[in-house]
Amino acid sequence: MTGGGNAAIVRAMSPRTPQLDTTAWVLLVALSTVWGASFFFAEIALEELPPVTIVAVRMVIGVMGLWAIVAVVRPALPRDRGTWRDLFVMGILNNALPFSLIVTGQIWVTGGMAGVLNATTPVFGVVAAHFLTSDEKLTPNRLAGVALGFLGVIVLMGPSVLEGREGQLLGGALLLTAAISYASAGLWGRRLRHLSPVSAATGQATCSMIILVPAALILDQPWNLAPPSMLVWGSLIGVGLLSTTLAYLMFFAILKRAGGSNVMLVTLLVPPSAVVLGFLFLNEVVTPEQLIGMALIGLGLVAIDGRLLRRFL
């Protein structure tokens, strides 16, 4: 799971008085790094494995870690069929579908660009909330944020359109569809407010694993693939334990310490993390349109959040 897909979990937990102190900032940077690393790990794994298999293995490893947390924390787990149905849908919208779309999109799009496009989730989220809810309507600053976000997407994808790069267009479309899925998950997650964050996270991740493992067996037939190298196994363990299990631990720690609004600042930090990791370790080229697009989307997220604007206006 990446930063953009956690609005539902934020709403599910009522934190103490928010306090964005030094510890919270350190955790925010660390969380953005491990979530940004998910694009980096996926890019390495794609050298040898197909997308659905990568995502299925990620969820198997991540779910094992989450159930280990459950064994220690012992939260109340859902027992009724209706809640598990809602968790199943959440598992599709917040894990199985967007993870598969993102990794598939990275066949044609770099991990850095994938991270930037993924940051559009709140942009789609506020648009969906305006039309589908009665209490989250578009305000002037949110509308400005949406406009800036879409302008950033145009800057990012414009060269692909003008130069006829069909692969990049397809990859970008898949990543934007993943962002829409994350945004939809944020709305659906309202149904899970009665669950603790650990229960909601573990339940939806388990449901997504139940979907993804059979899908990988049917679509990819992994037994016919060559055994992955140690580097790829390392990336799978990294994306499972670091970008999934450890990320949840840090996410919950920030949520408890600094509050829901502050933890969502990670959305601003994930794209730079993804771009820097790709540049340093995979020799990815950072283009001017990526930097401009990232800046525009970042400004859009700042406008949607509204706090910085209120401080100066």
Q: State the pLDDT at residue 23.
A: 86
pLDDT at 94 over 70: yes
Chain segment 189-239, per-residue pLDDT in tens? 888 888 888 898 899 999 999 999 999 999 999 999 999 999 999 999 999
Alpha carbons within 13 angstroms on the beta-carbon side of residue 44 total 20
Quick check: 16 pLDDT over 50?
no
* pLDDT for res 308: 66
**233-260 pLDDT tens trace:** 999 999 999 999 998 888 877 877 776 6
Q: Are 294 and 271 in contact (CB under 8 A)?
A: yes
d(CA 110, CA 95): 20
pLDDT greater at residue 252 or residue 106: 106
Average pLDDT rounded to a whole number, residues 301-312: 75
Residue 15: pLDDT band (50, 70, 90) is: very low
Phi, psi of 111 (to 5 degrees): -60, -35
Model confidence at 11: pLDDT above 60? no
The set of residues, in sequence order, having a beta carbon less than 8 Å from that of 75 and lying 6+ positions away, is: 196, 198, 199
Report residue 14's pLDDT band, with 50, 70 and 90 as the boundaries: very low
What is the overall mean pLDDT for the chain? 88
What's the whole-number mean pLDDT along residues 161-189?
88
Q: By C-alpha distance, which of 240, 254, 301 is closest to 28?
A: 254
Task: Specify whether the backbone of 30 is left (phi greater than 0), alpha (psi in -120 to 50) or beta.
Answer: alpha
Helical spans, DSSP H, in the chain: 7-12, 22-45, 51-73, 81-91, 97-105, 111-118, 121-132, 140-162, 166-188, 197-219, 230-237, 247-258, 260-263, 266-281, 288-305, 307-312
Q: What pLDDT was estimated at residue 197?
A: 83
pLDDT the model gives residue 253: 79
pTM of the predicted protein model: 0.90
Backbone angles phi, psi at 95, to 5 degrees: -135, -70
